[in-house]
Chains A and B, each alone.
Chain A
Amino acid sequence: MASPEPGRPLLAVRSVAKSFGAVSAVRDVSFPLYGGEVHALVGENGAGKSTIVKMLAGLHRPDSGTIELDGQPVELHSPADALAAGIAVIYQEPTLFPDLSVAENIFMGRQPLRSGRRIDRRAMNARAAAYFTQLGVAIDPDRPARGLSIADQQIVEIAKALSLDARVIVMDEPTAALTGVEVKRLFAVAESLRAGGAALLFISHRFEEITALCRRVTIMRDGAHVSTDPIDELTVDEMVRRMVGRPLDTLFPKHDVVPGDVVLEVEGLTRAGVFADVSFQVRAGEIVALAGLVGAGRSEVVQAVFGVDPRDSGEVRVDGKSLRGGSPAAAMRAGVALVPEDRRQQGLVLDASIERNITSTRLGSLAKLGLLVGGAERRFARDWAARLQTKYSHLTDPVGRLSGGNQQKVVLAKWLSTQPRVLIVDEPTRGIDVGTKAEVHRLLSDLAADGVAIVMVSSELPEVLGMADRVLVMREGELVAELPRAEATEQTVMFAATGQGAAA
């Protein structure tokens, strides 16, 4: 699909800059977006990608520089302006109205009308349903958005962008929460949009996606523009080198560890309507991956193990001692830690400072005579932030200001600082750049080497295959397969995860 070398760009970013107080998030960045072409924007966490996105969305005004549409400079004062200018944005974090129906979420402010400017609900639901069929998912358009899994939320976001049929479509890590099947569908859609003449800006930390989808790539580092080239003139290694600023050491640094005794035992764990009769064991030093399609119920399982979700039946044992259900505190005392799937909702208190977030799990031990006095917290937080190489300007800044990846590091710091015996990580590298990814992976294998039992929920097959000693596959709330490292391959896992015929 070699479309002719395009002429004038549909949208052009011209040497824009943006700083937040002391932090200069973006400096002198320029790149063109051509119609009928998908353009990749890559960079480490905190490189400034989302900030650019927010400028295109009319959320941030550039401190300097301009954004040009059809060669004309445009002032985007508000999201409304951006929409009016035909720019649709899929944000890094889903932005839905939990109380409203999925269909209304898609068409808010643009609902199809019938006589007397009244909303035509039938038409609205029908069109929403049509978009879902196009995306190949069956979400009831009339169901409230509350309770959708992150993946389903992301899909609704995509449907929203489709419904805008905009000329410029910006996707900030749309695939972070998706698994193979959905990603394939998303790509099909993106492809048809491209063919329709739209210009797409695509942000992702997964290079296989970028090389598969994009024709041109802009690389950023620390807020500055590094380069913009056609994709086929760059190797992945070159891209990585440019964005990280150094050659990357292996992505999956797996030590071979001889597993120790069983630490975590889960037996017949059941929660009506979500998952049933889940049993597995994890030994000290082992990394066990929970694979499966999104919505398989993996998060629910680990959350029930940790006790944030209730369990209807079944038992969880740590070091042979049975764990009281529904009590995270008990789990923590037993040495279990859970790095949750949704960092903004479950992992962090976004308005609270980085320091407060990191220390939140350790206050008891940081207190003297029950009182939190002196600089103990500060020192502790600074130490752990440093160990995970978190990028921040002040420990007292609200953690919400950090870039996605750095937020994830804070969550990891918060839990690793509890020195757990059993570490459960749910989508540990979601939205994390290659550099950090390698860090996290090294971290996990080091922890395993130190005898920590690790359960890893991940929707990224390479990660699962690269890191796990054993792979447990879930489908529709049931444990359907257990594959030792040797037998775990792309095919075997997908086959188990999707069941007959659905082998992706």
Chain B
Amino acid sequence: MTTAPPTSTGPAPSVEHDKAAESRVGLILRARELGIVLALAALVVVTAVVNPRFLSGQSIRDLVLAAAIIVVLAVGQAVVVITRNIDLSVGSVLGLSAFAVGSLLQAAPGVPVVVALLVGLAFGAVCGLVNGVLVRFGNVPALVVTLGTLYVYRGIGFFWAGGQQINADKLPPGFLAFGTAGVLGVPWLIIIALVVVLVAGLYLRTYRSGRELYAMGSNPEAARLAGIPVGRRTLAAFVVSGALAGLAGVLFAARFGTIDASAGTGMELNVVAAVVVGGVAVFGGSGTIWGAAIGALLLTTIGSALPVLGIDQFWQQAIVGALILLAIGTDRVVAARIAASLRRRESHVVS
């Protein structure tokens, strides 16, 4: 075939393209996550200056432990949002799975932690599957489906739990230990969260099916034409989000020890906020897992920094809101800069 172009010995232009490529990639990466990282750094520094104990081992540990759960949720959410969908049911799924695992351990204290984790995953996956099926086969907008299942799953949770509350003393000590202990001082929750972030991040960046998720989010119609199995991928995305929410449920149970039907209520908005703050475009197609994770970390840090800063209770929520706006604002500014630079370096027919 005369059409197959030489790939090994890249012709002159392609070389200079590669250089351009590097710079562009760098620029965009910096652009997307820069704002958040800066905000995070600034926050930590200020807090530490005001109250050095904020950087004490104990407090950092508490911080990341709290972050671990929301990070896991944010990763799942990011996957869904990138495909131009959204999953508002995560809070309810978390509650449901937490309670499921809780009552399992209550009934059979012997169950090893690993099994508990798997049960949580599976449980969430099923909830996610339901969402996915409704979106895929019922072609109902994800926002509607998951807003619905937000109510439904929560309701089921209440039915099941009733007034029952599973207290720390009912849970096997091994499981509670898992909530705080770890290897070489690194708590399990954090290890798990990191693994989730790395795997998901790598997958979305360097695997074909991962990139296809972006394609679907960027232009669904074109994705169909490109022969991407849109339906299956959508389904998968929701299953992943559900499964991670389930996993987060187990972590939640282990961390907080007390579980009732209302666990994780209202968390969905925080998670979406984290993802958005993390620079994932609400209408899909762009953004990274790293970004989402950092976004989650930032929000949690705010949550625990403000009391340390001794800022009046009543200001906390307001400040969180303001910071969300600030974060997406800066993100937009940078994005605009890129667009401008693109417009200038326009293509022209070489003659």
Binding site for B on A (CB under 8 A): 57, 59, 78-84, 89, 91, 95-100, 104, 108-113, 117-119, 121-123, 125-134, 136-144, 146-148, 152, 162, 165, 181-182, 189, 192-193, 195-196, 273-274, 293-295, 476, 498-499, 501-502
> A152–B347 contact, CB under 8 A?
yes
> A476–B348 contact, CB under 8 A?
yes
What residues of chain A lie closer than 8 Å to B229, measured between beta carbons?
A: 80
Partner of A126, one of B4, B10, B225, B286: B10
What residues of chain B lie closer than 8 Å to A295, measured between beta carbons?
A: 346-349
Binding site for A on B (CB under 8 A): 1-7, 10-14, 17-18, 20-21, 24-25, 206-208, 211-212, 214-215, 217-219, 221-229, 281, 285-286, 339-340, 342-351
What residue in chain A is nearest B202 (Cβ atoms)? Answer: A118
- Chain B nearest Cβ from A455, distance in angstroms: 23
Partner of B351, one of A81, A141, A189, A502: A502
What residues of chain B lie closer than 8 Å to A80, measured between beta carbons?
A: 227-229
What residues of chain B lie closer than 8 Å to A125, measured between beta carbons?
A: 14, 17-18, 21
How far apart are the CA atoms of A80 and B17 in the complex, in Å? 31
What residues of chain A lie closer than 8 Å to B348, measured between beta carbons?
A: 138, 293, 295, 476
| 19 cross-chain CB contacts under 8 A | A97-B223, A109-B208, A121-B21, A125-B14, A125-B17, A126-B17, A127-B5, A128-B14, A129-B11, A134-B5, A138-B348, A140-B17, A140-B20, A141-B14, A142-B21, A144-B342, A165-B1, A193-B3, A295-B349
Partner of A98, one of B207, B219, B221: B219
Known contacts A119-B208, A138-B348, A138-B350; is A131 also within 8 Å of B5 by CB?
A: yes
Interface centre among A112, A121, A133, A139 (most CB of B within 10 A): A133
> B347–A138 contact, CB under 8 A?
yes
How far apart are the CA atoms of A113 and B340 in the complex, in Å? 32
> A138–B222 contact, CB under 8 A?
no
What residues of chain B lie closer than 8 Å to A193, measured between beta carbons?
A: 3
> A165–B225 contact, CB under 8 A?
no
What residues of chain A lie closer than 8 Å to B212, measured between beta carbons?
A: 108-109
> A109–B2 contact, CB under 8 A?
no
How far apart are the CA atoms of A193 and B207 in the complex, in Å? 30
What residues of chain A lie closer than 8 Å to B20, measured between beta carbons?
A: 140, 142
How far apart are the CA atoms of A118 and B207 in the complex, in Å? 5
- Chain A nearest Cβ from B107, distance in angstroms: 42
> A165–B211 contact, CB under 8 A?
no
> A501–B351 contact, CB under 8 A?
yes
Q: Beyond the given A97-B285, A189-B3, A295-B348, please list 14 additional residue pairs across the A-B interface where CB-CB is below 8 A.
A: A80-B227, A81-B227, A97-B215, A97-B219, A99-B285, A108-B212, A123-B7, A133-B11, A137-B350, A141-B21, A165-B4, A193-B3, A196-B2, A274-B343
- Chain A nearest Cβ from B129, distance in angstroms: 23
Partner of B218, one of A98, A117, A123, A127: A98
How far apart are the CA atoms of A79 and B285 in the complex, in Å? 21
> B351–A192 contact, CB under 8 A?
no
Interface centre among A91, A97, A148, A498 (most CB of B within 10 A): A97
> B347–A139 contact, CB under 8 A?
yes
- Chain A nearest Cβ from B338, distance in angstroms: 9
What residues of chain A lie closer than 8 Å to B228, measured between beta carbons?
A: 80, 108-109
How far apart are the CA atoms of A294 and B13 in the complex, in Å? 21
> B349–A99 contact, CB under 8 A?
no
What residues of chain B lie closer than 8 Å to A294, measured between beta carbons?
A: 349
What residue in chain B is nearest A91 (Cβ atoms)? Answer: B225
> B351–A104 contact, CB under 8 A?
no
> B13–A133 contact, CB under 8 A?
yes
What residues of chain A lie closer than 8 Å to B2, measured between beta carbons?
A: 192, 195-196
What residues of chain A lie closer than 8 Å to B25, measured between beta carbons?
A: 142
What residues of chain B lie closer than 8 Å to A96, measured between beta carbons?
A: 219, 222
What residue in chain B is nearest A193 (Cβ atoms)? Answer: B3
Interface centre among B4, B211, B349 (most CB of A within 10 A): B349
What residue in chain B is nearest A136 (Cβ atoms)? Answer: B350
How far apart are the CA atoms of A95 and B226 in the complex, in Å? 9
What residue in chain B is nearest A293 (Cβ atoms)? Answer: B349
Partner of A181, one of B207, B344, B351: B351
Known contacts A79-B227, A119-B206, A133-B14; is A111 also within 8 Å of B211 by CB?
A: yes
- Chain B nearest Cβ from A195, distance in angstroms: 7
- Chain A nearest Cβ from B98, distance in angstroms: 35
What residue in chain A is nearest B12 (Cβ atoms)? Answer: A133
What residues of chain A lie closer than 8 Å to B350, measured between beta carbons?
A: 136-138
> A140–B21 contact, CB under 8 A?
yes
What residues of chain B lie closer than 8 Å to A134, measured between beta carbons?
A: 3, 5
- Chain A nearest Cβ from B332, distance in angstroms: 15
What residues of chain B lie closer than 8 Å to A476, measured between beta carbons?
A: 348
> A132–B13 contact, CB under 8 A?
yes
Partner of B17, one of A129, A147, A182: A129
How far apart are the CA atoms of A130 and B223 in the complex, in Å? 24
What residues of chain A lie closer than 8 Å to B214, measured between beta carbons?
A: 97, 99-100
How far apart are the CA atoms of A274 and B208 in the complex, in Å? 36
How far apart are the CA atoms of A386 and B339 in the complex, in Å? 42
What residues of chain B lie closer than 8 Å to A91, measured between beta carbons?
A: 225
What residues of chain B lie closer than 8 Å to A147, measured between beta carbons?
A: 339, 342-343
> A137–B14 contact, CB under 8 A?
no
> A127–B226 contact, CB under 8 A?
no
How far apart are the CA atoms of A141 and B25 in the complex, in Å? 11
What residue in chain A is nearest B283 (Cβ atoms)? Answer: A99
Known contacts A123-B7, A295-B346; is A130 also within 8 Å of B14 by CB?
A: yes
What residues of chain A lie closer than 8 Å to B344, measured between beta carbons?
A: 273
Partner of B226, one of A79, A138, A498: A79
What residues of chain A lie closer than 8 Å to B217, measured between beta carbons?
A: 99
What residues of chain A lie closer than 8 Å to B285, measured between beta carbons?
A: 97-100
